[in-house]
Chains A and B, each alone.
Chain A
Amino acid sequence: DSGVTQTPKHLITATGQRVTLRCSPRSGDLSVYWYQQSLDQGLQFLIQYYNGEERAKGNILERFSAQQFPDLHSELNLSSLELGDSALYFCASSGEGARTEAFFGQGTRLTVV
């Protein structure tokens, strides 16, 4: 158990809909990361938050947004969903310093039909 909790584990929704994925980081970790993993794109970095502030942005679509709340949990919002958004979405968290590793949650499998 990595200590990172993601909910829900599975999500099936229709095209055009909006969903919210939730992540609770490990206790004490201030950094939260979101990744998208699909068969054709591999592991793609979406966005990083540090203590409530956006720190880095990767290949995140404009239809996607995220935030980190004062209690450090994070949510990833995906809107106007398309079939191509079907993927595994991972959240990870890490502590301070470049020597610390990222701990990954089990992921949310999103299926858009």
Chain B
Amino acid sequence: AQSVTQLGSHVSVSEGALVLLRCNYSSSVPPYLFWYVQYPNQGLQLLLKYTSAATLVKGINGFEAEFKKSETSFHLTKPSAHMSDAAEYFCAVSGPGNQFYFGTGTSLTVIP
């Protein structure tokens, strides 16, 4: 069975500080993993995805994530937070039948 767990429903960082959003997955098959961002009153937008090529995946807006099989993790990072990064972030894993399993989301606040 596929599932993801996002640790920390709320994360606050100062502008310019490192952003680290945590995601751990459980999968009975080699996982395909995704990070989405949701800005207020908008739909979810794909940030990046892991599809078993490179373990370090670069996405849009300076975000990247590293797939670590030994830790069953796919944490999202950004070296320097901007005010515009304030949003809700969702980790997801896909499974058989093109089903997607989303985490509960992490709300990122950036403090000026």
A42 to B5, CA, bound (A): 13
The answer to the question of B96 belonging to the interface, with a C-beta cut-off of 8 Å to chain A, is: yes
CA distance A104 to B34 in the complex (A): 13
- Does B100 lie within 8 Å of A33, measured CB to CB? yes
- Indicate whether A48 sits within 8 Å of B99 (C-beta atoms), given known contacts A42-B105, A99-B32: yes
A100 and B46 contact, CB distance less than 8 A: no
B32/A98 in contact, CB under 8 A:
yes
Known A42-B105, A98-B32: A90·B44 in contact at CB below 8 Å: yes
Tell me the count of chain B residues lying within 8 A, CB to CB, of chain A: 24
Q: Is the CB of B32 within 8 A of A50?
A: no
Residue of A nearest to B51 (CB): A99
A107 to B39, CA, bound (A): 12
For B94, what are the chain A residues with a Cβ–Cβ distance below 8 Å? 98-100
Q: Which residues of A contact B (CB under 8 A)?
A: 2, 4, 31, 33, 42-43, 45, 48, 50, 55-56, 90, 92, 94, 96-107, 109
Are A2 and B100 neighbours in the complex by a CB distance under 8 Å? no
Contact of A96 among B36, B98, B100, B102 (CB under 8 A): B98
State whether the Cβ of B112 lies closer than 8 Å to any Cβ in chain A. no
Does B80 touch A at the CB level, under 8 Å?
A: no
Q: Which residues of A contact B92 (CB under 8 A)?
A: 102
A73 CA / B107 CA spacing, docked (Å): 32
Are B42 and A101 in touch, CB under 8 angstroms? no
Complex Cα distance A50/B42, Å? 25
A104 and B102 within 8 A (CB): no
Which residue of B44, B97, B102 is within 8 Å of A56 (Cβ)? B97
A43 / chain B contacts, CB cutoff of 8 Å: 90, 102, 104-105
Instruction: State whether A97 and B43 are in contact (beta carbons under 8 Å apart), knowing that A42-B104, A43-B105 are contacts in the complex.
Output: no
Q: A45 to B44, Cβ gap below 8 A?
A: no
